[in-house]
Every structure is written in C-alpha cells, then in structure tokens.
Amino acid sequence: MFDAIVFDLDGTLLDTIQDLANAANYVCRQNGWPQYTVDQYKYFVGNGIPKLVERFSPAEARTPERLAHTLDQFSRRYAAHKADVTAPYPGIPEALEQLRQAGVVLGVLSNKEDTLARAIVEQYFGSGIFAHVQGALPGLPVKPDPTTLRALLARPEFAGRRVLFVGDSDVDILTARNAGLPGCGVLWGFRTRQELESAGAAYIIQHPHQLVELAAI
C-alpha cells in the first residue's frame, strides 16, 4: 500500500485555471496584447508563474526587464483575485479526509511560489490535512526537476514511507519518475490521458475516491 501521497496543487487539488486565465488576460488587455482561452492556458501553466507569464507575453515583450514588469503586474492582479472562482475539485476534500483517517501522510508540492502555495492550501484545506506544503523556492529548480520533491521526501514525516506522487500533467509524472516514485495521473485536471500515458504514469484515475483505493493496494 501507499502510506504517503504527495499532490500537485493546480489542476489536481484545486481548479485554479479560470482565476489564472482571468488574471493573465487582464494583464494582456492592460498591455494591448492578444488574449487566450482557458483551454489554451491549461497548456501555459504547470511550470510556475514566471513561465506562465513568459508564455502569454508576445515575443517582443520577453526581455528580462519587461518580463519582470509583467510578472509584477500578474502577481498583483492574481493575488487580489486568486479566490474568485477557485475551488477544490468535487470529491477532493472527502478523499483527503478518508486518507488522513486511514493514517496516510499527505503532502503538497507545487511550482507556485512557496509562500503563495502555502497560503492557498491553508485557505482551502486548513492546517490539519497536509504534513508539509512545499512551493517553489528561490535558486532551486522547479518540477519536473526532482530537487524539491526529494527534499520533501527527506523530511521525517515522509522518510521510509511508500510514497505516491499525484498530478494532472506530464510535468508531475516526470517529476515522480525523476525522483524514483510511481506517478498517478488524474483526469479531472488540465491535461489529457494521452499526455499522462506518454509521460509514463503508473496509474491513471478518473475520480478522487480512487485515491483511497490506491492507498489500500
């Protein structure tokens, strides 16, 4: 069985895409740039907010100075509107509580900036569900590099446990593989079954209650 599960955040625990898209399109409008659909933003996210900003910025606006300015624009707008429509996916709170009651240790690893990731998890899930929440840290590579995941796994809460990594994109499955863990892809998130299979997902699930079944294997 898996006695510990580490989750991606956006597209896995929380449906954040509309708020991210709204903030990004606000910045695009402010700068007179083309806007994008929510489905397009599903492929812009996954590698951290700086990369999202780079992807929606036109080529001529990708100098380091301009990207820094645009990142600040986006961060301010998103901070003010990050909870407009964001919510846990249906079934996630119930599955998390069942896993916690079964003694499974839970964690979160996000490419969102660390302070922001912690604040969002606290807002939607409180402080008693996850043993540790880890976001992106200055100077360290983000997923799919396994550095931050390995640091999380070295914590006493996770050391020596059989850990499953759960996410909605190839970034997450590759993160798991790079850290030597089985990866579980979820179909309620931002990406497709084909992407998850191609990345080498060990498991693919359609509903959060299947996480409880996986933990009992």
- Catalytic residue positions, numbered: 8
C-alpha 155: how far from chain center: 20
Residue 109's φ and ψ, nearest 5 degrees, are -130, 115
The gap between the terminal CA atoms of the chain, to the nearest Å, is: 5
Asked if the peptide bond before residue 90 counts as cis, ω within 30 degrees of 0, the response is no
Per DSSP bridges, beta strands 163-167 and 183-186 are: parallel
Cα–Cα dist 115/117, whole Å: 6
